[in-house]
Structure 1
């Protein structure tokens, strides 16, 4: 009684598994000649395995006695009614157990094929949607050849995944799918950025023109400061006053012309380059103005040190010393002559300091 109940339970499980395999979505994936590689191997093996299991299940269903056995031909299928001579016998209970295992294995393989195909298909659908949206964005950007060319890598990647991975999802290349997703994201991001750039260009252009005007004013101020420093400091070592603004203004006019012609990728690159150049010119101008101011500060610092040393000399009663007074006068004359020679002035102040220190030491 128990063996009969076990046999009925096995028959029920096998029937459910085989019906599930028959209607499994993976069977549609495996049909036709589109499959390649490992998926093509499964397309040849799994439907044949399903047909064999149905044949064996039919023989199992026609033998209700769990203690009975079934004759099998050389191909492993029932020999009865085929004209093929039997070569072995299998107990009905053992056949039921074998079918139970094989049907479950087949169902797992079909489920794995479906999962692989679904994963590849989802990646491909996402990339195709990105490509379609990117194409619409490209059309909205006026059909610039550079924009159209920018879609080619994504289009080719979609075709490659369709050709290789969708045809053989079981062996799909993860790296290729990841590259497709990354390429779709970067292509859309670039076109979105271009679309925003086109929309915002009037404001961007106005801001850049204003920045160039501010830079021109700053450079004019730097030129005036350089003129003052050169008049007051000999051999200042300052470079020519910066004049980047006229060049950048001309470049910005070129970018404006590109924008009017709808050449948005080139205009975006040019706009970014001008903005970067304006920032660099502003920073360089600030450094130069600090350098120029530093020269005057150095002169004033030397004047202050000389005054402090003279106060020290007076406190030590050395103001009337002829040699020290001569050195003080030479340093003072150098520091108050325009243009001032900072090197000579520095040496003169140091000489005065050394002479003062020596006289003070001699008096101790």
Structure 2
């Protein structure tokens, strides 16, 4: 190469080597790499880190070879103010030829040029960095969270035991035991084989592009939260059992009284009303009363885990039974309301007929409707028809008025 090209080439190679050294030093001091160096790894992470660690050592070896070669080129260049043919030939070989000897496991030593060395160093650096960044991402995202969740799980399990929530008797206790086993496995994976939880982004060449698979942790977290709510329900039962049982007892008593009232009312309606469908009164609180007695037994025996779901269901069913009883009472007394409405409408149209002067003409219709409405049993269908007929009669003008209008028309 030409003499004037030597110094710029030396400067450029020195800059490239300095950049490589800076990157390698940063990788050496990376917290993730430091943790990897002393960690007890397993599985794929152990295999990949051992390969990456060996590759990192080779990168440093290549860098030292390159730095030594560059220093040799500087020495040759500075030996004479104007390099002679021998120096020029050596400089050309050192700066542009395949002058760098590199080794890889299972292969013979290989001589390559500067550009090839830089390309291999860049590729190797990216491989090592990918492992370091991926492991660091997993270790930053999961182990501490798993430990916190395990601590929360232990706290909840202790609460569960204090109120009798134990395995085999309450599903929440079984859930907690299962989640504890899952978290133990997840913790071992996250600390020992973190790459098993790393999901790289396909097609990306940038190291560290990917995400941590937290799906197992997320499921465990939701399960712990669900179990916590169930156990808090049990604790609430422990605290409020007597008050809630008393409330259910009161609601069932009101439902029973309402059903009895509906049955009595139905008998009265059947005696007073005809021509109308009166639905039967169905329903009974006897089964719920038996379950309420069982709930009281659980409370006396302090079986809170069994009482909690039973009491919650009783509260819901009791309110439903009271609502149905009220609907039944409304349904069976509806004919009486219809009769009262027809009576009121009949009297209202009688007053209107009197104002219009049609009282005498429509009186027989009124009497027929009134007799039907005040008879026992009252045929509501017939009464409804008679009231409607009387209503229409009150809206027609009196006969005298119609004759006058007719006469006036003929005179005209």
Q: TM-score, normalised by structure 2?
A: 0.69
Which of 29, 37, 40 is 1:20 aligned to?
Answer: 29
Query: Equivalent residue for 1:80?
Result: none
1:46 aligned to 2:32?
no
Q: Given the superposition, is the C-alpha separation of residues 72 and 305 from structure 1 closer, same or farther in structure 2, using an over 3 Å criterion?
A: same
CA contact (8 A) 1:165 1:173 kept: no
**Greater radius of gyration (CA):** 2
Aligned pairs, number: 351
1:196 aligned to 2:236?
yes
CA contact (8 A) 2:65 2:101 kept: no
Q: CA deviation at 1:72?
A: 1.3
Which of 323, 327, 336 is 1:296 aligned to?
Answer: 336
Residues 97-124 of structure 1 show CA distances to partners (whole Å, capped at 9, x for unaligned) of 9657854763464133111233232343
Q: RMSD of aligned C-alpha atoms?
A: 3.8
Q: CA deviation at 1:311?
A: 3.6
2: CA distance between counterparts of 1:253 and 1:85? Answer: 87
For residues 1-364 of structure 1, the aligned pairs below 5 Å read: 3=11, 6=15, 9-10=18-19, 13=22, 16-17=25-26, 19-20=28-29, 24-29=34-39, 31-32=40-41, 34-36=42-44, 39-40=45-46, 42-60=48-66, 62=68, 65=71, 67=73, 68=94, 71-73=100-102, 75=104, 87-91=110-114, 99=121, 102-103=124-125, 106-107=128-129, 109-142=131-164, 143=166, 145-147=168-170, 148-158=173-183, 161-162=186-187, 167=193, 168-171=196-199, 173-234=213-274, 237-241=277-281, 244-315=284-355, 319-321=359-361, 324-355=362-393, 360=398, 363-364=401-402
Residues 180-226 of structure 1 show CA distances to partners (whole Å, capped at 9, x for unaligned) of 32222222222233222333222222222233334344444445544
Residues 252-302 of structure 1 show CA distances to partners (whole Å, capped at 9, x for unaligned) of 111222344454444222212211122212222333343345432321221
Q: CA deviation at 1:309?
A: 3.4
2: CA distance between counterparts of 1:140 and 1:346? Answer: 67
Q: Given the superposition, is the C-alpha separation of residues 343 and 66 from structure 1 closer, same or farther in structure 2, using an over 3 Å criterion?
A: farther
Please say which of residues 7-16 and 186-195 is displaced more in the overlay.
7-16
CA contact (8 A) 1:21 1:106 kept: no
CA contact (8 A) 1:11 1:61 kept: no
2: CA distance between counterparts of 1:361 and 1:27? Answer: 115
SS in 2 for 1:72: strand
1: CA distance between counterparts of 2:100 and 2:19? Answer: 20
SS in 2 for 1:88: strand
Q: CA deviation at 1:231?
A: 4.1
2: CA distance between counterparts of 1:350 and 1:21? Answer: 95
1: CA distance between counterparts of 2:17 and 2:287? Answer: 91
CA contact (8 A) 2:252 2:322 kept: no
Which structure 2 segments of 5+ residues have no match?
Answer: 1-6, 74-93, 200-211, 403-412
CA contact (8 A) 2:252 2:321 kept: no
2: CA distance between counterparts of 1:230 and 1:333? Answer: 18
Please say which of residues 309-318 and 142-151 is displaced more in the overlay.
309-318
CA contact (8 A) 1:154 1:187 kept: no
Q: TM-score, normalised by structure 1?
A: 0.77
2: CA distance between counterparts of 1:232 and 1:217? Answer: 22
2: CA distance between counterparts of 1:341 and 1:152? Answer: 69
Q: Given the superposition, is the C-alpha separation of residues 199 and 314 from structure 1 closer, same or farther in structure 2, using an over 3 Å criterion?
A: closer
